[in-house]
Structure formats: C-alpha cells, structure tokens
Amino acid sequence: MKIGSLRAALAALCSVLSWQACAAGDPVVIGDIDDLSGVYADAQGQGGIEAINMAIADFGGMVLGRKIVLLTADHQNKPDIGATKFREWADQSGLNLALGGSNTGVNIAMSKVAAAKKVPLIVIGAGGSSLTGADCTPYSIHYVYDTTSLANGTASTIIKAGGKSWFFLTADYAFGTQLQDSATRVVTANGGKVLGSVRVPLGATDFSSFLLQAQSSGAQVLGLANAGTDFSNSLKGADEFGITKTMKPAALLAFISDIHSLTLQTAQGLYLTTSFYWDLNDETRAFGKRFFAKMKREPTMDHAGAYSATLQYLKAVKAAGSTDSDKVMAELKKAKLNDLFVKNGYVRADGLMVHTMYVMQVKTPAESKYPWDYYKVIRVMTGEEAYGSQPDPACSFAKQ
Amino acid sequence: MSSVFGVPLPAILGQLTLGLVNGSFYALLSLGLAVIFGLLGIVNFAHGAFYMLGAFAAYIGLQTFGVNYWWALLLAPLVVGLLGVLIERLFLRHLYRLDPLYGLLLTFGVALIFEGIMRDQFGASGKSYPVPPLLRGVFDLGFMVLPIYRAWVVVASLAVCAMTWFLIERTRLGARLRAATENARLVQAFGINVPLMVMGTYGGGVALAALAGVLAAPVVQVSPLMGSSLVIVVFAVVVIGGMGSIVGAIVSGLVLGLIEGLTKVVYPEASNIVVFVIMALVLMWRPAGLFGREQ
C-alpha cells in the first residue's frame, strides 16, 4: 500500500519534472535544427521533418521500449541560434541525437556543442567537408554529401569532357569557399586551370555583374560554388546573357528542388552530383511515392538522407541496447549501413559516412517523359571514389 | 587596351551598364517608398513584400489564367494595389496619428505574413518566369552583350519614374496631394476628400512596387524572399535621397546602382554593403539626405 502510493507519487513527480529525473520512462529525443523558412528551406526544411517522422513511424515509434520524440527548430541560417537551440535541448530536454540541416556555418557551430555536450550530431543538409576535417568531433557524422564528393563528381566529369579552364562564382561563406577549394584541387589535379573567381555575398539580388566578369575571363567552365536561389539566379542570368553559349555551367551543388523550380528549359544539360534520386530503382521510387503523397513533390537527397540517418541511428540504439552517446557512436562506426538511401555505407574514423554518389545530367524537355523525370545517370561513383577511403588528415582525433 | 585603376575599360563600361539596370529597379522601388513616406508619413516595410507579390501575381496570372507579360504589367499592379488599399483601409488608417514606429511595425508584420503564405504555397526556391518572346535576344554593344529585356527594364522604369514625378509635381491632383500633407484639415475644409486621396496614394505606391516586381520576374527567380533582401537596400536609397523626396529617390536609386556596379569589379565582397557605407557618410554630412529638406 505504502509502496504503491509512493510509486504513484513518483510517477506524478516525473510527469511534472523534466525528463532526466525519471530514467525508466525517458523518451528517446531527436532534435532537427534546420533552415525552415529561408533560402535553403526547400532542400530539407519541412520535407526533412516529414522524412524523419516517416523513419520514426517505420521503426515503430519506439526503441528499447521508449517512445521516440522529435523536436524541431528553425536556425534561420544563424550559427548562434542553431548552437543555442542544440545546447538548450541537450541541457533541458534530454536530447539524444541532433540532426543538422542546411548551412555549413551553422553546423560548424553546432558541432562544437556536440563535442561539449557529448550528444551525437548527424549533419544532413550542410556540405562543408571541414565538418569531418578541421572541425571534426568524435560525436559528429557527416551523412549525405560533402564538398569533396561534389567536386570529385561534377568537376572531374566536366574536365574529362574537355572543360579545362575554370572560373568560379562562389558564395562568400564557409560552404562556398570550401566547395571552391575542393573543386580547385580536382581541377588542378586533372591538368586543368583556374583562371579566376569572384566571391558573391550570400543572397545577392543580381548576379549579372559577376557573370560578366566570369565571361571576360575567357574560361571554358563556369563553376557555380553556391546553392539554393543563389544558384538558380546565377544560372538564369548566365542563360539570359548568352554566357551558356560560350561557357559550360557546372552546378557544384544542385538539388532536384532547384531543377524543378528552374524548369528543364533553363537547366537542361547541366551536370551535377547527388547521393539520391527518386527514380533510381523500385525502393527509391516507393519512397518517392510516399513522400510525394505528403509533400506534393519528390524528395531531395537531404530528405532521403534525413530518413536514412534517423533509421540508422535508431538501429544503432537498438543494437547497442542504450542511448549512451559513446556506445551508439561506436555502433554506428562499426555497422554496415543499408536502406533505401545507402548501400553498404560505413562511417569513417573522422565521422564521414562513405557511400555511393551519382553524377547526373539534367534531361532536355524532350527527353523528360513524366513529371519529375529530370536526371540521367552519367556515372556511379563508389564511396571511396567520391570521398576517399582514408580519414581527413586535418581531423585531429582520427589520425592513426 | 585602355584601363582605369587596372580594370579594363570595356569591363567598366559593362558594369556601368548593369549598374544602370539595377539602378532602375532601385529607382522604381524607392520611388514608391518615397511617395508613401513623403505624403503619408508611413515607413512602409511591406514594400519588398508587395514587390514580391507583384512578381507572383504575374507568375500566377501566366500559369493559371494565361495572362501574358504585357497584361500582367497592367493587371498585377492593379490587383496588388487594391490589396494595398485594403490594408490601408483596415489597418494603417488607425495609425496616422501615432508615432511612425507603429506603421513600421504593422507593415513589417504584414510583410512577414505575405512571405510566409507564399513560402507555404510555392516553396522557398521559387518559380521561373519566362522572358516575353518579343523581348528575347541580346544587343551587342561591343564591350558587352546586353539582353534586350534588361534594356527594356531601364526604359520602362525611367518612363514610370518620370510620369510619377510629373503627376505629383506638375498636376492639380499632385498639388492637392502635397497640400494635404502640409495641412490635411485645411485642405479638407476646401471640400477635398483627403482620406480618399491618402488611400489612393498608398495604393499607388504599392502598385509601383508590384510593377517593379513584374519587371523583375523574368530576370530573377520569383521567390517569396526576393523582396526582403532588396527592401533594406531600397530603404538606404530613400534615406540617401532624402526621405520623401521624389527626385531624390530616383536620382539616388540610379547613382547607387552605378556605384554598386563599380564595386562589383573592384571589390565584389563589399558590393552588398557599399550602399550602407554611403548612407552613413551622407547622414553624417547631410542628416536630411541629399535632396531632403531640413525640418
């Protein structure tokens, strides 16, 4: 009798107090911190939240007998907001896993919190390869794509097709400069030359001046080291000024949402690198169909990646029998990852998830037979070709 | 090849031409802002949102109703202008007697709401609007190729700027408007319907923003955030020209477009702040702006 009432009182206390106070009834808390309203909101954004929820539902909504809870926040592309939210959830909400959305700058700030709070951070939508290099932590995983793999895909394909001299139009922040650096390495390693570059402020309203500078450089290839509406607007401008007649544009990062909004008329012929396309096989088509039913558009690689990352994390928790960060990270780093997004992927010592990447070419309007029929596969890169099999030497703890 | 400060002359000419194109956009947008502030005393933070709505009105018109570009130039400002009238009637009207800060906050909220609605409906990456068939192709100027459409933008916006200036500074209606801003009660005593004029003025200013949006639709991605990045620059332009000065808005819009164009050659990283540096300098030297009157 006494024990019974004590237990009831404890349970009541548990529901009033924060999660940590009562270990047994803890939910597993996943936090998604992403650009939900700004220029990158279509690449992941609300669709990413939907994909994470799909993964949680597919896993049964429970792991280790505990309920799985998803928290979401809009980082507004501001590193301080992303880091503060991460810290707040880690301190007050019992956060077990953070999923990092778009924007390399924000994710670099969040990886510092991951290291300090020992909470795993799986980066989905950001590209900067420093996340598993100079900015690596034992608790970060870079999951969907990085600037190295994008450059290895798109830049090397274009050079082999004869585009030897390059001019870069670069978004003036961590992501853009890292993408340009990665692409420059690939260009020079393959006997090409970089004739110049111009750093464009993020969210510039007009790109024509920068495009004119690119044109007067006489380079054969216009390397677009930017993303989102910056990418769309620079490609639109290049088309309008007739620059695409003399220079070949290279999309160093383009999502299917960008191609959709640009239309095939403007984007046709473009080479790009992606880790996912909805129309690759039956499995991806089935995921595309489910996603489309909810979001009225086909998933980007970030959407599929957010689904996969959530699923693989939950599998690792189940295998480890615990949400302890070190145990789950060890599990993730030794497992072979397999689902609709990744086949035989693995997490390198520095935290990079090595997986297949596809070099695509955008179809012409005549080649496209049905809605969202946008890409043809030009080249399939193994994970090692795309990312390299050795850990980044810039990552301090991954050194052998 | 001749050059200035190590930059080849053709490059400078090219950037100046593009600066003129961008300056025309600035002029047209800051004109609407200046009209609204000069005559109503409202700091219209929703100006960027109305510009965006103008572009979307053209896009929706084309996709859903088959309205071509030329009709959109007429209809989009009309529809968005009516929306402006509605907002003036329902909300702004109650704020005229209060501190201008309230108008600023209200219009800022309105802008956020419109941007949110459009993002929900069309996504953040926006939509493509094609260049009208008649204006496709390029002029070869020797030092650069200029798309015919961009040349059209310069001509169209300068014409609209000139017409607006004429309407306000040289017609009877304009004289009444200006009189009403000086002393509304006196003008009303002459039997002139001041509230109606004020409503029309706000609608007109909003329509100018929407017109700029239609002009911009074929050259930039029509996206929910297209206005928010521009409106801050345009505010700086208005402040430099002198809050409320029509001529100031037009002239400083064009000149700042040119200066920004040159910055893009000399030091591209600074191109999005040069306008604000100039604003700070102008305010130190002439607090009322270049063409503004000291109160």
Which tops the pLDDT comparison, A84 or B39?
A: A84
From chain B, the residues in CB contact with A201 under 8 A are 268-269, 271-272
CB B56 within 8 A of CB B118: yes
Range with the lowest mean pLDDT among A319-323, A326-330, B3-7, B282-286? Answer: B3-7
Inter-chain CB proximity B264 and A37 less than 8 Å? no
Q: Is B219 on the interface with A (CB under 8 A)?
A: yes
Residue range B205-224: average pLDDT?
93
Is pLDDT of A18 > 60?
no
- For chain B, give the mean pLDDT: 89
From chain B, the residues in CB contact with A203 under 8 A are 225, 229
Nearest residue in B to A40, CA atom: B124
The Cα A222–Cα A10 span in angstroms is 65
Residue B2 confidence (pLDDT)? 63
Residue range A375-383: average pLDDT?
96
Q: Is A42 on the interface with B (CB under 8 A)?
A: yes
B6 pLDDT band, cuts 50/70/90, is low
Which of A145-159, A208-222, B7-21, B218-232 has the highest mean predicted lDDT (pLDDT)?
A145-159
Q: Is A218 on the interface with B (CB under 8 A)?
A: no
Residue range B288-295: average pLDDT?
77
Q: Is B264 on the interface with A (CB under 8 A)?
A: yes
Inter-chain CB proximity B125 and A258 less than 8 Å? yes
CB A225 within 8 A of CB A168: yes
Is pLDDT of A3 > 90?
no
Residue A327 confidence (pLDDT)? 96
Render A205-225 in DSSP notation, one character per residue.
S--HHHHHHHHHTT-SEEEEE
Cα distances (Å, whole numbers) of residue A53 to A47, A61, A72, B238: 10, 9, 11, 47
Range with the lowest mean pLDDT among A174-183, A205-214, A362-371? Answer: A205-214
Read off the pLDDT of residues A325-352 as tens digits, 9 standing for 90 and up: 999 999 999 999 999 999 999 999 999 9
A400 pLDDT band, cuts 50/70/90, is low
Nearest residue in A to B143, CA atom: A216
Is pLDDT of A286 > 90?
yes
Q: Is B18 on the interface with A (CB under 8 A)?
A: yes
Inter-chain CB proximity B220 and A41 less than 8 Å? no
Which tops the pLDDT comparison, B289 or A114?
A: A114
Is pLDDT of B193 > 60?
yes
From chain A, the residues in CB contact with B269 under 8 A are 172, 199, 201
Nearest residue in B to A208, CA atom: B18
Is pLDDT of A112 > 70?
yes
A19 pLDDT band, cuts 50/70/90, is very low
Residue A316 confidence (pLDDT)? 97
Is pLDDT of A23 > 60?
no
Which tops the pLDDT comparison, B1 or A125?
A: A125
Range with the lowest mean pLDDT among A35-44, B4-13, B27-36? Answer: B4-13
The Cα A298–Cα A293 span in angstroms is 9
Inter-chain CB proximity B124 and A40 less than 8 Å? yes
Residue A21 confidence (pLDDT)? 42
Domain coordinates in residue numbering, chain B: 13-226
Task: List the A95-100 sheet strands across, edge first.
Answer: A62-63, A66-74, A28-34, A95-100, A121-123, A140-142
How many Cβ pairs closer than 8 A exist between chain A and B? 114
Residue B5 confidence (pLDDT)? 65
Q: Is B228 on the interface with A (CB under 8 A)?
A: no
From the list B8, B230, B269, the residue facing A172 with the nearest CB is B269
From chain A, the residues in CB contact with B138 under 8 A are 241-242
From the list B10, B124, B128, the residue facing A38 with the nearest CB is B124
Is pLDDT of B3 > 80?
no
Nearest residue in B to A204, CA atom: B272
From chain B, the residues in CB contact with A209 under 8 A are 15, 18-19, 261, 264-265, 268, 271
Q: Looking at CA atoms only, how far is residue B208 from chain A in angstroms?
A: 19
User: Which of B125, B139, B276 has the highest number of chain A CBs within 10 A, making it the mutation to test binding with A?
Assistant: B125
B294 pLDDT band, cuts 50/70/90, is low
Residue range B188-214: average pLDDT?
91
Residue A12 confidence (pLDDT)? 53
- Percent of chain B at pLDDT > 90 equals 47
Q: At what angle do helices A79-92 and A104-117 cross, to 10 degrees?
A: 30
Which tops the pLDDT comparison, B141 or A267?
A: A267
For residue A175, the surrounding DSSP H or E stretch is helix A174-189
Residue range B141-151: average pLDDT?
85
Residue B58 confidence (pLDDT)? 96
Q: Is B10 on the interface with A (CB under 8 A)?
A: yes
Residue range A19-44: average pLDDT?
81
Q: Is A245 on the interface with B (CB under 8 A)?
A: no
State CA A345 to chain mean position distance. Answer: 15
Inter-chain CB proximity B229 and A205 less than 8 Å? yes
For residue B53, the surrounding DSSP H or E stretch is helix B47-60
From chain A, the residues in CB contact with B11 under 8 A are 212-213, 216
From chain B, the residues in CB contact with A260 under 8 A are 125
Joined tokens for residue A225:
């080291």
Which of A22-36, A55-69, B254-268 has the highest mean predicted lDDT (pLDDT)?
A55-69
Render A19-78 in DSSP notation, one character per residue.
GGG-GGGPPEEEEEEE-SSSTTTTTSHHHHHHHHHHHHHHTTSEETTEEEEEEEEE-TT-
From chain A, the residues in CB contact with B26 under 8 A are none
Q: Is A213 on the interface with B (CB under 8 A)?
A: yes
Q: Looking at CA atoms only, how far is residue A236 from chain B in angstroms?
A: 7
Residues 286-315 (A) with a CB less than 8 A from some CB of B: 297
Read off the pLDDT of residues B150-180 as tens digits, 9 standing for 90 and up: 999 999 999 999 999 999 889 998 888 888 8
Cα distances (Å, whole numbers) of residue B122 to A256, B83, B162, B169, B225: 15, 20, 35, 40, 11
Inter-chain CB proximity A199 and B269 less than 8 Å? yes
Is pLDDT of B182 > 70?
yes
Residue range B222-231: average pLDDT?
88
